[in-house]
Amino acid sequence: MTNKNEINKNKIYKTIQSITKEYMQESLELIERVFTDHYGKEEGKEVRALVEEIRSKKCYLPDLELIALDEDNHVIGYVMFSRFHLNGNYEEELLLLTPAAVETRLQRQHISKDMIEFGFRRAKEMGFKAVLVEGDPANYHARGFETAANHGIMPGKTVHLPHINCLMVKELVQGSLDEIQGTLEYDYYDAL
């Protein structure tokens, strides 16, 4: 498996690592602050509640809850991958990437890119085959995500997207999306 930490060469952050108990609260504060900055207070609270809910469910994978730390060991970036299913299938093969947050003043410096790429490598080593994400395609196409509907993964009635292209998927193992298909629903989560 990948080393516990990934050291950064450009010094915007010191390391990327799986979350540890000492950073649980600080990461929640970062998530709420970043989403509040960009989308308002209500969204900040909702995303924080989602992370707390995922942490309490069997879909939670502590090795794939990632943080970036600065030189003073403060959390400046956050990414969570958790198990997900389509129609009750693929829970051991499919991940959901949500949320991703970087300290507002440090955005656009490749911190989330590095964290997501680190997560892809670790997830593949753990045996996962694909990752789903909901968001702006412009932010995710460069990471290899494609429109999920093109692969037979459709949003269900509990998924409200501005456009069908906002639900995307990425193969971690070539050819895996030939076998993974179904309908995405968020009824498993109270926070969504």
Q: Does residue 190 form part of some domain?
A: no
- CATH number of the CATH domain containing 144: 3.40.630.30
Question: Bridge partners of 77?
Answer: 68, 102
Question: Bridge partners of 78?
Answer: 67, 101
Q: Does residue 189 form part of some domain?
A: no
- pLDDT score recorded for residue 82: 97
Task: Identify the domain containing residue 48 by its residue range.
Answer: 5-184
- Give the tokens for residue 17: 């690592």
What does each of the 192 residues of the chain score in pLDDT, given as a tens digit?
444 676 665 678 899 999 999 999 999 999 999 999 999 999 999 999 999 999 999 999 999 999 999 999 999 999 999 999 999 999 999 999 999 999 999 998 889 999 999 999 999 999 999 999 999 999 899 899 999 999 999 999 999 999 999 999 999 999 999 999 999 999 888 887
- pLDDT score recorded for residue 10: 60
Q: How many structural domains is the chain composed of?
A: 1
Rounded to a whole number of angstroms, the distance between the first and last alpha carbons of the chain is: 32
Q: If you average pLDDT over every residue of the chain, what do you get? A: 93
